[in-house]
Structures are given as C-alpha cells and as structure tokens.
Amino acid sequence: MTERPIITDADLQDYIEGRLDVPARARVEARLAAEPRLAEEVERLRRQAVKLQEFGKKALEEPIPKDMLDLIEKFGRR
C-alpha cells in the first residue's frame, strides 16, 4: 500500500507561490495526482501566480523620471 504524503495548506500555498524545492514539489504533486478537483483548483491558482509575475514587467522597462534621478544625484554630490 502506498503512503499518502501529508500535505498542509501551507505546503499548497508554497507550491502555488513557486517556493518549494524539487523534492517538496514532487510530494505535493503526488498528493494532487490523487485528488483531481483539488489539483484543478491548485493549477488555476498556480497559473494565476505565473501570470502575475509576468504582469507589471512592462512597468519595469519605463525610464525613470528625471526629477527622481536628479534627487539622488544632488544628494550624492554633497
């Protein structure tokens, strides 16, 4: 008889947030394989997490406003 790994809500959250190491991920995925409905919900949340990371990347490419750069420049020149 195969052992079911004990997976906590915190484990599921860490999995969704992409914070688990490979062995821990494998344990969670093994557990999810046995519970398709939970697996589907977790997968939706995980996809949302990935999308959220993509989101806002455009904002990082924007040039920094001159007055912000000037502020730091002026400070350094004392």
Partner 1 sequence: MDLKEQIIEQIPRLRRFARYLARDADHADDLVQETLIRALGALPQLDPEGNLRAWLFTILQNVLRGEWRRRRRSPVRHDIDADGVPEPSQKGGQFESATLAELAGAIRRLPPRFREVLMLCGVEGFDYEEAAAVLGVPVGTIRSRLSRARAMLKEWSSE
Q: Which residues bind partner 1 (CB under 8 A)?
A: 9-10, 13, 16-17, 19, 44-45, 47-49, 51-56, 58-62, 64-65, 67-69, 71-73, 75-76
Q: Least distance from C-beta 2 to partner 1, angstroms? A: 29
Q: What's the number of CA atoms in the CB half-sphere (13 Å) around residue 45?
A: 13
- Indicate the residue among 13 and 26 with the shorter CB distance to partner 1: 13
To which residue do tokens 């949302």 refer?
Answer: 48
| Residues whose CB falls within 8 Å of the CB of residue 24, separated by 6 or more in sequence, listed in order | 11, 14, 15
Q: Least distance from C-beta 27 to partner 1, angstroms? A: 19
